[in-house]
């Protein structure tokens, strides 16, 4: 059978699976919390895979190999986001879950507004979450339509609408639990698809096996195999030069740390049954499993396409970073594998769009409709249907924006993770007790978002640093400026924060062994950042090499392996992401002063 036939066969099976979970949720979820946060009952294995899939979007599947093709191994340092994305979860997720369980928080706006005693923060979080539900989902949905067009010849707009309908159906009918169980198969398809395509590329006779492939990579020249030693002041760099300097690599990783600090991911954390899967998701599923796919198989794809282009292969002339993966799929995959890998790409795209659309609707429902329009007096059935309506509106808006506002889409889609990183200003206060007055928190987040936009669009990447760095740096500076000016919170706010801090520090106090590990990790983590993805990564240009990998690629693999050990130490030994039954039981039962309607 032809490749397109297999595409439709696997797409049909995928639709059946998605519709099954959507309909199951439709007939079983009868409460608003059951629909919006799965009744805090997402099981271990499901969260493990679905949360990992949601962290790595269609951009990982399609854009990542394309940028390795364009910018070489300097860009391949972006693969380290398999560590920098979950490290945010290691810092915040367990404590976020404990607070959500004890205080009954449903949305991130609940948590931030209660802690800082400020409704302005709620509206700020709502606005951020909803705008980026629209724009980031639009990026994903348009990518799905474009891929469907290239692989199966389906008209772009029809493909985008049809594939959006699939996401809309299971999100709106089944809620967060349906999105989670669909996320399980999406994880398997995402990782499997990346590895299958990379394997077929590296096995192609054109390369003469691994020995021939590695020899070709080593001959590509310094522009594609080294980190540049100069500072470029624009994201595009100088003519013929990559912008991925050592400091750009480091600060770009900060942007990707914003994925698990985004409002959508915070809300998902509230939905899990217990925090037990967090450590395994952070140290194993993301860091090791997805890391294996990215450090080897996406690099095989990107560097393989570059070699074929430079060899003058006609099909690889005139490539763009967006066309690399679709072309490799068409040229290298047998028909049945084309169907599998196509579904891997669609699954990667849907795994990000679904939670953004779903949580965006739930945040609007809870923080606006339930709280202000209905004054907290509305039935569960009405909440569920309004939630579905709001998610539908977000899906339609995402499609409209994607099809009509290309320029704005590119800008705002690129800014999404950087805005997520600005949420560190709030999380550092709530989770770790950084002394930020409420007014400073509001002003800090607002100024941080403005700084992100200015250093992305108006003055791109000052000092070769990504806009995510400038946004969070500005946000924290402004927040602490208000503290330095002597701005103080009301006594009610001070007392509320002290009660939350005392309880959280008590219930989450590490063991003596954990305390010792935390002292060690305070040194290990900065050292790892400095050498793996920071200024010292330039040493990798002329460092060791092994198994035919060029020095910079060898450097990346070496620090990825050390990063796995670091994440294991953080998550398990330092007890940053582990809990025991006593902690979980206390969070479940000590709801004496819990704000029932936070």
> Residues 567-580: pLDDT tens digits?
999 999 999 999 88
Residue 593 has pLDDT above 60, yes or no: no
Question: What is the pLDDT at residue 45?
Answer: 85
Cα-based distances in Å from 502 to 386, 431, 506, 586, 592:
37, 11, 6, 14, 15
Question: What is the pLDDT at residue 410?
Answer: 53
Question: What is the pLDDT at residue 353?
Answer: 86
Q: How far is residue 294's CA from residue 216's CA, in Å, rounded to a whole number?
A: 20
Residues 347 and 14 sit within 8 Å (Cβ to Cβ): yes
Residues 187 and 50 sit within 8 Å (Cβ to Cβ): yes
Is residue 234 domain-resident? no
Question: What is the pLDDT at residue 230?
Answer: 56
Q: Domains in the chain: how many in total?
A: 1
Smallest CA-to-CA distance from 419 within 129, 161, 77, 89 is with 129
The C-alpha torsion from 364 through 367 and 368 to 370, rounded to 10°, is 100
307-337 confidence digits (pLDDT tens): 999 888 888 888 888 889 999 999 899 999 9
Q: What is the DSSP letter of 62?
A: I
Question: What is the pLDDT at residue 413?
Answer: 61
Question: What is the pLDDT at residue 430?
Answer: 95
343: confidence class by pLDDT, cuts 50, 70, 90: very high
Q: How far is residue 52's CA from residue 58's CA, in Å, rounded to a whole number?
A: 13
What is the share, in percent, of the chain residues with pLDDT greater than 70? 94
Interhelix angle 119-152/335-364, nearest 10 degrees: 160
Residues 147 and 346 sit within 8 Å (Cβ to Cβ): yes
- Write down the mean pLDDT value for the chain: 88
Phi first, then psi, for residue 272 (nearest 5°) are -80, 150
Q: How far is residue 293's CA from residue 353's CA, in Å, rounded to a whole number?
A: 21
Residues 201 and 328 sit within 8 Å (Cβ to Cβ): yes
CATH code: domain of residue 38: 1.20.1730
DSSP secondary structure letters along 222-283: HHHHS--SS--SSTT-STT-----HHHHHHHHHHHHTSTTSHHHHHHHHHBS-SHHHHHIII
Tokens 């806009």 locate to 467
Least confident of 202-211, 398-407, 428-437, 482-491: 398-407
Averaged over 360-373, what is the pLDDT?
92
Is residue 546 domain-resident? yes
Is residue 147 domain-resident? yes
Residues 142 and 402 sit within 8 Å (Cβ to Cβ): yes
Tokens 């801090």 locate to 501
Is residue 123 domain-resident? yes
Domain of 157?
3-222+241-434+490-589
Residue 107 has pLDDT above 80, yes or no: yes
Residue 9 has pLDDT above 90, yes or no: yes
Question: What is the pLDDT at residue 80?
Answer: 94
Is residue 453 domain-resident? no
Is residue 114 domain-resident? yes
Question: What is the pLDDT at residue 431?
Answer: 94
Question: 42: which strand partners?
Answer: 272
Q: How far is residue 195's CA from residue 193's CA, in Å, rounded to a whole number?
A: 5
For 22, half-sphere exposure in the C-beta direction (CA atoms, 13 angstrom radius) is: 18
Q: Return the structure tokens found at 280.
A: 């395994």
Task: Report helix, strand or coil for 42.
Answer: strand
Q: How far is residue 438's CA from residue 122's CA, in Å, rounded to a whole number?
A: 12
Question: What is the pLDDT at residue 228?
Answer: 78
Residues 135 and 395 sit within 8 Å (Cβ to Cβ): no
Q: How far is CA 225 from the centre of its chain?
A: 27
Is residue 9 domain-resident? yes
Averaged over 157-185, what is the pLDDT?
92
| Length of the chain as a residue count | 598
Question: What is the pLDDT at residue 598?
Answer: 47
Residues 409 and 145 sit within 8 Å (Cβ to Cβ): no
Question: What is the pLDDT at residue 235?
Answer: 40
481-529 confidence digits (pLDDT tens): 999 898 899 999 999 999 999 999 999 999 999 999 999 999 999 999 9
Question: What is the pLDDT at residue 233?
Answer: 44
Question: What is the pLDDT at residue 237?
Answer: 41
Question: What is the pLDDT at residue 144?
Answer: 87
Is residue 392 domain-resident? yes
28-66 confidence digits (pLDDT tens): 888 888 888 877 888 888 888 988 888 887 778 888 899
């Amino acid at each position: 059978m032809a490749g397109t036939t297999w595409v439709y066969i696997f797409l049909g099976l995928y639709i059946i699976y998605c519709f099954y979970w959507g309909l199951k949720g439709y007939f079983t979820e009868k409460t608003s919390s059951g629909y919006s946060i799965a009744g805090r009952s997402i099981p271990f294995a499901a969260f493990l895979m679905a949360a990992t899939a949601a962290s790595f979007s269609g951009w990982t599947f399609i854009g990542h190999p394309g940028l390795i093709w364009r910018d070489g191994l300097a860009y391949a340092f972006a693969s380290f986001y398999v560590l920098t994305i979950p490290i945010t979860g290691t810092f915040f997720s367990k404590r976020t879950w404990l607070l959500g369980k004890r205080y009954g928080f449903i949305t991130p706006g609940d948590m931030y507004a209660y802690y800082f005693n400020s409704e302005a923060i709620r509206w700020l979080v709502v606005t951020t979450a909803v705008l980026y539900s629209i724009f980031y989902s639009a990026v994903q949905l348009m990518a799905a339509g474009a891929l469907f067009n290239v692989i199966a010849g389906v008209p772009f707009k029809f493909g985008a609408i049809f594939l959006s309908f699939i996401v809309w159906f299971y999100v709106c009918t089944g809620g967060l639990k349906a999105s989670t169980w669909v996320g399980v198969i999406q994880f398997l398809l995402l990782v499997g698809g990346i590895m299958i395509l990379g394997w077929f590329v590296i096995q192609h006779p054109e390369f003469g096996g691994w020995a021939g492939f590695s020899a070709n990579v080593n001959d590509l020249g310094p522009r594609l195999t080294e980190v540049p030693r100069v500072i470029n002041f624009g994201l595009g760099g100088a003519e013929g030069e990559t912008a991925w300097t050592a400091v750009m690599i480091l600060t770009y990783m900060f942007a990707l740390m914003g994925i698990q600090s985004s409002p959508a991911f915070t809300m998902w954390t509230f939905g899990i049954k217990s925090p037990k899967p967090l450590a395994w998701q952070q140290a194993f599923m993301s860091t090791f499993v997805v890391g294996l796919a990215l450090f080897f198989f996406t690099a095989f794809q990107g560097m393989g396409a570059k070699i074929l282009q430079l060899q003058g292969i006609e099909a690889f002339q005139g490539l763009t970073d967006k066309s690399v993966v679709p072309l490799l799929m068409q040229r290298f995959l047998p028909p049945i594998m084309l169907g599998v890998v196509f579904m891997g790409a669609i699954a990667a795209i849907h795994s990000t769009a679904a939670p953004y659309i779903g949580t965006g609707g739930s945040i609007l429902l809870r923080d606006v409709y339930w709280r202000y329009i209905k004054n907290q007096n509305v039935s569960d059935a009405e909440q569920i249907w309004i939630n579905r309506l709001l998610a539908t509106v977000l899906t339609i808006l995402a499609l409209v924006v994607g099809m009509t506002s290309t320029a704005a889409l590119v800008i705002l889609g690129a800014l999404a993770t950087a805005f997520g990183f600005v949420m560190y200003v709030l999380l550092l206060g709530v989770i770790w007790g950084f002394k930020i007055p409420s007014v400073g928190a509001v002003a800090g987040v607002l100024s941080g978002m403005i700084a992100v936009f200015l250093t992305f669009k108006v003055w791109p990447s000052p000092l070769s640093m990504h806009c995510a760095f400038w946004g969070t740096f500005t946000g924290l500076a402004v927040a602490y400026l208000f503290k330095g000016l002597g701005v103080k919170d009301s006594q009610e706010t001070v007392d509320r924060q002290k009660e939350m801090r005392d309880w959280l520090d008590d219930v989450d106090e590490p063991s003596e062994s954990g305390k010792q590990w935390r002292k060690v990790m305070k040194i290990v983590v900065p050292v790892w950042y400095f050498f793996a993805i920071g200024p010292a990564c330039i040493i990798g240009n002329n460092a060791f090499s092994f198994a035919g990998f060029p020095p910079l690629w060898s450097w990346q693999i070496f620090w990825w392996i050390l990063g796995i050990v670091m994440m294991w130490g953080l998550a398990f030994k330092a007890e940053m992401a582990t809990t025991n039954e006593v902690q979980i039981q206390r969070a479940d039962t000590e709801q004496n002063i819990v704000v029932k309607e936070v």
